[in-house]
Structure 1
Amino acid sequence: MLASYKLLNQYVKVDDQNPEELAEKITRIGHEVEGHYPLALGTKLVVGYVKECIDHPDSDHLHICQVEVAPGEVTQIVCGAPNVAAGEKVIVALPGCELHAGKISAGKIRGAESNGMICSIAELIEDQRLLREEDKAGIHVLDQDAPVGVEALSYLGLDDFIMDIGLTPNRSDCMAMTSLAHEVAALLNREVTYPEVKKYDEKESEIEVHVETDLCPFFGAKLVKGVSTHESPAWLRNYLLASGIKPINNIVDISNFVMVETGQPIHMYDYDKLTKKAFTIKTGFDTEETMLDGESYKIEPSDIIVSTDDGIGCIAGVMGAESTKIDDTTTNIVIEAATFDGATLRATARRLNLLTDASQHYIKGAIDTANSLHVLDRCADLLVQLADAKEVYKSVHTPLSIEPKVVETSVARTNGLLGTSFTAQEIADVFDRLHFSYESDGENFKVTIPTYRNDISMDADLTEEVARLYGYDNLPNTLPFMSMTEGILSDKQAKEKMIRKTLADLGLHEVLTYTLTSTETVNDFNLFHDNEETVALMSPLNEERAVVRKSLLPALLSTIKYNLDHSNKDVNIFELANTYSRQDKEISNLAIACTGHYVDIPWLNESKPVDFYLVKGFVETLFDKLGISNKRYTFTKVERENKDFHPGRSGYIRFGKKIVGVIGEVHPAKAKVYGVGEVYVAELNLTEILNLRTSALKFTAIPTYPEVSRDLALVVDATTPAQDILTTILKSAKILVDAKIFDVYEGEHVEEGKKSIAISLRFQDPAKTLDEESITKAMHAILERVKKEFNAVIRQ
């Protein structure tokens, strides 16, 4: 928001304040002044009189002017403006003058001495968008009664100071200068002066107003006849320039100025262009309409429309229609002041790309509906003063009943929130400075909130007002009283921290990748979200970041591709993050991806390429750390038709029948798509795994009795998974403490279609020394179990 120092002074006396210091004070009460600068820049500008103007002998467009820059003091200036002429009063920049374009100095132009420059308005004001074409095309010619030698900016009324205030969303009321004036008045402990609005002998109006939607709580219209259109006076143009609004003509400028002053957007209709003198506010239109900017826009049924003559008179709060616009021939005007639903206007304005100044006031909730009738009167008064209006008619409006908002607070409540010791009188003083009326019994306050303060709804808001006006920097430092809580990690956080540390200790690097991915890759490696709908962004920045991922592996493969492209061939990484789907499903995933070598130490002649068993070892190590024994899970091969994982080198991890993870090699075809080679991966559903109930950690004494080892070679079908046999053996005898496969053989001396699996068994009894009978009994139990389940026999 741009706030004019001079306009602010019309409502509260600030001309005795240094503008920069005032900006600092305003910032300290919660309205950050993000920048401040003069409206027009020029340090040595005076009013001059062109006594003589002749053509430059060596130029076809330059003029040599004799200019009186002070009574009796004449200097020569070379000027190239086409409209310079003898007898004109002009703006003169004397040598040493600082302008936006740089410093003016004396010199010679094509051999002729020039001691300064005759200026246009465009050379004084930096924002060229706010200026008229005539302000840019030539020098600015002043009135003939302009006194020679006086300071030009002051004479023009451009000696203003602008504050660019970054209003917080809850203080949109300060988009009105009168509301900002209340803030400054409270800050300086001064009174606010509203402009006098003259009441006229108003006639009865034949206008009708009908509201057919709940999206318009109030609509008011006022007829004014006999206006004339011409240029606005300088003071009005200057105030609009300082507010960042381009002056157009007196009618348009009055509506914009009233919005700046009161925060209420104004729209005006040409009364004579209305066949039916009625306004109906409703929705439901589905058509196209040409608006004030000459462009055609699609109107949808959800848009709020001010309908005239059964058509489109205005897109409410956004822009008026071409059919009812004010032009140079307009003499009779209907003024509109209304309140519309901000959320609906926001949707309309964004869809049509018409985020106008007016629509912003509605969207941000800057409207003081209770003040609407006064706004209509203020606008009519200005039309009489500045547009020669002859007749003013009574306002026609929907019922207006605004209940005053009352909020209660107390001295104890205020001091309790702020950690202060304010007295009731000090709190009352703040309310007085803010012009809040209240009732008090000495300790409790019942405060009636002004209608323009939409941000205040509870006692904490009143406490904030006390803190703002007292000064945040003046509040004492206090610690809140609260119960002590132990700062510990949750069970899930502790386990995730352990997983990260374990994998890092195993030599893997943690990566952090984007949660967003493309629609082409979102279903790659998707194992835990089934066919559930993808979460898509409404307005993605690009196609590569359009949806939320369902697997971490695509991003890890992209990371490997990046490393390979930068000659880093050995990549061992992991990521722990969430994946999502449309059914409000959020899963915590762990993904591992490895390629190249895990160990490569040439001088020790040690080299370990990445393979399936390496990644499987990472997963089993994590399960051991989490207290999940190998008896709780099984491995099964992936489907032969799987397009993500190599069907011969990949397997699912199952808890019972539920798949909770996968380990294996990326399918060669998929690896080619991602631009990588042989990559081994794992992805686990940590949401399932970390919620699995595990036994409490138990400590046992080191066994005092020796263990006994036996080797066993079994012949089974070649298709039988070795892991299944191992799992079965571990469940067959209580004294069996460990079993490991140390050889798998197919070939000579083994029947075709069969394979030999050699297993090392370790037996131990913590209570006694094992005898041969106990070991033999356990071996028999094992052999019977594997024969029954796998038709396994001892290799001969």
Structure 2
Amino acid sequence: MKISLNWIKDFVDLDNIDYYKLADKITKAGVNVEKITTYQNDLLEVGLVKSCDQHPDSAYLKVCQVELSDGIYQIVCGAPNINYNMKVIVAKEGCILPGDIKIKKTVIRGIESNGMICSLEELELEEKSSGIYELNKTAIVGDNPYKYLGLDDCIYELDLNPNREDCLSHLGFAYEVGAVLNKNVSKISSELKEIEDSIKNYMHLDVQTENCSMYLARMVKNIKIGPSPEFIKNRLINAGMRSINNVVDISNYIMLEYGQPLHFFDQEKIGNQIVVKMAEENEKVTTLDNIERSLIASDIVISNQDHTIAIAGVMGTKNSEIDDDTKNIIIESAIFNPYNVRYTAIRLNLRSESSLRFEKRLNYEYTKEAIDKACFLLAKYASGEILKDTITYDAIVKNPKIIKVTKTNINNLLGMMLTEEQIEDALNRLQFEYSYQEDTYTVNIPNRAVDINIKEDLIEEIGRIVGYDNIVPSLPSLTIKAGKYNDQTAYLKSISKKMRSLGFYEARTYTLVSYEENLRFNNDNYESIKLRQPMSNDKSVIRKGLIPSLLNVANYNLSHQIKDINIYEISTTYAKHEDEIIEQNKLGFLVLGNYLINEWQQIKIKYDYFIVKGIIERLFDYLGFTNRYKFITNDVISDLHPHLSTIILIDNEEVGYFGRVHPNMVKEDIFVGEINLDKLKNKRSRQLMFKEASKYPSIIKDVAFVIEQNISSDEIISLIKKTAGNLLTDCYIFDIYNNDSLGPNKKSIAFKLTFNDYNKTLTEEEVMIIFGKIIDIVTKKYNCTIRTN
């Protein structure tokens, strides 16, 4: 958007204002002034043609003697309209014109030329010129010629944010300038002189769509189409538009001043009715650019009794355009649905300055002001006669926009400590009406401020006018509290930490599995939750157990020659029971290969049923379930080995299972287990167990008992712990041996016992006393022997 500061002077006093400093203030207030252009060139002057003679060697060139500020210059000119006594624009030697054209002293067909007499096209002030531009006779030789073109101006090019459509007009930007400079904005009143005739005698309006919220039409008779006055031409040029004729220029002038696009119809071509409606599907129209276009049902159109006369907000049609013979015109000023206009303009590739504004929120007050100002200018500069009355359709609900905000709200959001005086100064600069009572400002937001709709919008507006650069930096005052996990997260993380301390590695696997996988390793009656549109069959349901996923991980590692695997995963599983979705947190684990029982000495033994059982016991003891858990072999899951699998109970309620994967599924000795952590959490009644690491060395003893097959290893471990007392810190099975050489119905179970005293270093003698006592009591109670080989 280009803004002429000469135009802004119509609304705001800019005397003695530095335009560069003003641009900086406006940019800091949130409207980015991207570029500043001033029309000033010291080597461009007003010249007077003192003589104009035919070139001796050309029928098309003239040799002119031109008076400038420092003397008479000889210039060869080829313009057909150059003549004696004309005031012209002269580019002297060294002058750089638009397009990076540098003027040099040259010889044209044997005659020296010292400069160039310019047209507006060469100055890029006009698209096409038929000859050099003649200045007014009052122009003073040697002056800046831009002054006589009305171009002694400063042009701001704005880079507007999408919500600042209020600055798509000179009047809207004037309010921004007024707020920044703390100056009042005043509009020039235009008194209309209307004739007795009324538009109602010529035109009727029928709005048939909700996509038009306001439509105004006025009529001006007996216009005379001709050139525009210089000030309108110059202002359009400064805004980046070319002058066409007085009628078209007035339409563009009003749009740039108010931000309200207008459309002019030839009244004799459109008849006596205007209908606003939606287009017919595949309706054909020829627009002003002579292109036939196909419309669709979402396009808004203006029509008469017979045909479409304009695509609303986008472009008029050929059958209603203003031409040199037009006498009477109908002026349209309207507000259409911005979404429809935008879609139509993009689809037809007809986005323009006009459609750009229709795509935004328009101020309905300017819709009325703009059409009246257009009538005034047409009467003054096109000799038109303004008819009485305005044909009006208005469906806009005009509720006042009132926002209430407290001083505390303002300061909290801005991070500032503004006083009442600063807040009220900002509101006054914005020319917002307000009242203040009991720490609350009640602000009446004017319709021109279309981007202010909620309390936060108003606070932002106050902040930018006060100046964000006036915010005094301060460190935030915060009460820092140590972060902690909630109870559920802390519980799951403690289990994860314990599993890692037991030598496991955490795995993260996909939640989605195949339907067949989801049926394995469970005895529940829950249904699988299927995806509506799975990407593949192997990822078609949400899993209700973790073991199938861990088996996939194991198979992948085995295929890469990794033989020792000990992994776990804690995750949520999902299933459906009747109409209820069941979510459960579970721990799944898988072991294969060798178990590292002493990392320092790298002592390994092969994973078996009892090692896995011992790992689970350690976890349960850690969680505070000592003497509350037990293992039974009833109702074992069919996917597990029938003789090497167990159901886990706590307080006689099933909480999980573990065992060797059935040999029919895998040939390797893979042990898996799954525990319902939600059930564990509900049964937890004590704090987690913590064992302090001893600073004294331990003494380890191994013993193997040959006992009857029906004697449980749990019974022996319980007796060993009871006999040894507190000095026994660990006891677990590391080998089970079955052989006929042991005797009928006999087995050998080997235990590893760890002794430690937290207060001193144990001696071998002290340990052997306890160790001997254990052997004596166990052998007597179970009538067993010690295996020596």
| Range class of TM-score, shorter chain | 0.5 to 0.7
Local SS of the residue matching 1:326: coil
Report if aligned partners of 2:566, 2:589 keep a CA contact under 8 Å in 1: no
Aligned letter for 2:239?
A: S
Partner of 1:338: 334
| Displacement after TM superposition at 1:84 (Å) | 2.7
1:310–1:616 CA distance, 2 compared to 1 (3 A): farther
Equivalent in 189, 197, 201 of residue 182 of structure 2: 189
The equivalences for 1:58-77 within 5 A come to 58=57, 61-70=60-69, 73-77=71-75
Structure 1 range deviating more: 727-736 or 88-97: 727-736
Partner of 1:516: none
| Displacement after TM superposition at 1:613 (Å) | 5.6
- What is the CA–CA distance in structure 1 between the aligned matches of 2:273 and 2:235, rounded to whole Å? 34
The equivalences for 1:102-181 within 5 A come to 102-125=101-124, 131-134=126-129, 137-181=130-174
**Are 1:7 and 2:7 counterparts?**
yes
Local SS of the residue matching 2:268: helix
Local SS of the residue matching 2:261: coil
**Are 1:732 and 2:617 counterparts?**
no
- What is the CA–CA distance in structure 2 between the aligned matches of 1:193 and 1:407, rounded to whole Å? 25
1:359–1:489 CA distance, 2 compared to 1 (3 A): farther
1:48–1:372 CA distance, 2 compared to 1 (3 A): same
1:339–1:148 CA distance, 2 compared to 1 (3 A): same
Equivalent in 587, 592, 601 of residue 694 of structure 1: 587
- What is the CA–CA distance in structure 1 between the aligned matches of 2:564 and 2:175, rounded to whole Å? 68
Equivalent in 398, 401, 424 of residue 393 of structure 2: 398
Unaligned stretches of 5+ residues in structure 2: 498-504, 506-528, 541-554, 577-582, 609-637, 648-656, 673-703, 705-712, 715-730, 748-789
TM-score if structure 1 supplies the norm length? 0.65
- What is the CA–CA distance in structure 2 between the aligned matches of 1:17 and 1:241, rounded to whole Å? 23
Report if aligned partners of 1:305, 1:315 keep a CA contact under 8 Å in 2: yes
Unaligned stretches of 5+ residues in structure 1: 499-505, 507-527, 534-549, 552-578, 582-611, 633-654, 658-689, 711-725, 742-753, 780-796
1:623–1:237 CA distance, 2 compared to 1 (3 A): farther
1:427–1:85 CA distance, 2 compared to 1 (3 A): same
- What is the CA–CA distance in structure 2 between the aligned matches of 1:731 and 1:198, rounded to whole Å? 106
Aligned letter for 2:587?
A: T
| Max Rg structure | 2
Partner of 1:773: 738
1:778–1:353 CA distance, 2 compared to 1 (3 A): farther
- What is the CA–CA distance in structure 2 between the aligned matches of 1:211 and 1:483, rounded to whole Å? 62
Q: Deviations over 1:586-623 (max 9, x none)?
A: xxxxxxxxxxxxxxxxxxxxxxxxxx966955999999
The equivalences for 1:4-43 within 5 A come to 4-38=4-38, 40=39, 42-43=41-42
| Displacement after TM superposition at 1:41 (Å) | 5.7
- What is the CA–CA distance in structure 1 between the aligned matches of 2:193 and 2:736, rounded to whole Å? 119
Report if aligned partners of 1:733, 1:778 keep a CA contact under 8 Å in 2: no
Q: Deviations over 1:371-417 (max 9, x none)?
A: 32222111100001111113433211024662221111122221222
| Displacement after TM superposition at 1:433 (Å) | 1.3
Partner of 2:199: 205
Local SS of the residue matching 1:694: strand
**Are 1:280 and 2:264 counterparts?**
no
Report if aligned partners of 1:627, 1:697 keep a CA contact under 8 Å in 2: no
- What is the CA–CA distance in structure 2 between the aligned matches of 1:694 and 1:283, rounded to whole Å? 63
Partner of 2:379: 384
Paired residues in the alignment total 588
| Displacement after TM superposition at 1:192 (Å) | 1.3
- What is the CA–CA distance in structure 1 between the aligned matches of 2:144 and 2:306, rounded to whole Å? 56
Partner of 2:509: none
| Displacement after TM superposition at 1:729 (Å) | 5.5
- What is the CA–CA distance in structure 1 between the aligned matches of 2:171 and 2:68, rounded to whole Å? 40
Partner of 1:435: 431
Report if aligned partners of 1:56, 1:64 keep a CA contact under 8 Å in 2: yes
| Displacement after TM superposition at 1:774 (Å) | 8.6
Aligned letter for 1:184?
A: V
**Are 1:97 and 2:101 counterparts?**
no
| Displacement after TM superposition at 1:326 (Å) | 0.8
Aligned letter for 1:84?
A: I
| Displacement after TM superposition at 1:706 (Å) | 8.8
Aligned letter for 2:162?
A: P
Equivalent in 342, 347, 350 of residue 354 of structure 1: 350
**Are 1:624 and 2:567 counterparts?**
yes
Partner of 1:371: 366
Report if aligned partners of 1:376, 1:395 keep a CA contact under 8 Å in 2: no
The equivalences for 1:533-548 within 5 A come to none
Structure 1 range deviating more: 184-193 or 440-449: 440-449
| Displacement after TM superposition at 1:190 (Å) | 1.0
- What is the CA–CA distance in structure 1 between the aligned matches of 2:476 and 2:131, rounded to whole Å? 65
Aligned letter for 2:335?
A: T
| Displacement after TM superposition at 1:246 (Å) | 2.2
Report if aligned partners of 2:334, 2:367 keep a CA contact under 8 Å in 1: yes
Report if aligned partners of 2:63, 2:74 keep a CA contact under 8 Å in 1: yes
Structure 1 range deviating more: 138-147 or 113-122: 138-147
Partner of 1:294: 290
Aligned letter for 2:105?
A: A
Aligned letter for 2:378?
A: L
Report if aligned partners of 2:136, 2:148 keep a CA contact under 8 Å in 1: no
- What is the CA–CA distance in structure 2 between the aligned matches of 1:656 and 1:410, rounded to whole Å? 52
Report if aligned partners of 1:216, 1:340 keep a CA contact under 8 Å in 2: yes
Aligned letter for 1:142?
A: L
Aligned letter for 1:205?
A: I
| Displacement after TM superposition at 1:278 (Å) | 1.8
Partner of 1:660: none
User: Structure 1 segments of 4 or more deviating over 6 A?
Assistant: 485-491, 528-531, 618-623, 703-706, 734-741, 756-766, 774-779
- What is the CA–CA distance in structure 1 between the aligned matches of 2:558 and 2:58, rounded to whole Å? 85
Equivalent in 56, 78, 81 of residue 80 of structure 1: 78
Partner of 1:56: 55
**Are 1:316 and 2:315 counterparts?**
no
Report if aligned partners of 1:43, 1:99 keep a CA contact under 8 Å in 2: no
- What is the CA–CA distance in structure 2 between the aligned matches of 1:193 and 1:618, rounded to whole Å? 86
- What is the CA–CA distance in structure 2 between the aligned matches of 1:299 and 1:440, rounded to whole Å? 53
Q: Deviations over 1:136-176 (max 9, x none)?
A: x5322234443333221111112222211111122111112
- What is the CA–CA distance in structure 2 between the aligned matches of 1:461 and 1:106, rounded to whole Å? 60
- What is the CA–CA distance in structure 1 between the aligned matches of 2:604 and 2:274, rounded to whole Å? 101
Q: Deviations over 1:611-645 (max 9, x none)?
A: x96695599999936469xxx9xxxxxxxxxxxxx
Q: Deviations over 1:517-568 (max 9, x none)?
A: xxxxxxxxxxx998949xxxxxxxxxxxxxxxx69xxxxxxxxxxxxxxxxx
Aligned letter for 1:773?
A: N
1:694–1:444 CA distance, 2 compared to 1 (3 A): same
1:347–1:727 CA distance, 2 compared to 1 (3 A): same
**Are 1:217 and 2:213 counterparts?**
yes
**Are 1:237 and 2:224 counterparts?**
no
Report if aligned partners of 1:46, 1:92 keep a CA contact under 8 Å in 2: yes
- What is the CA–CA distance in structure 2 between the aligned matches of 1:372 and 1:621, rounded to whole Å? 81
Local SS of the residue matching 2:121: helix
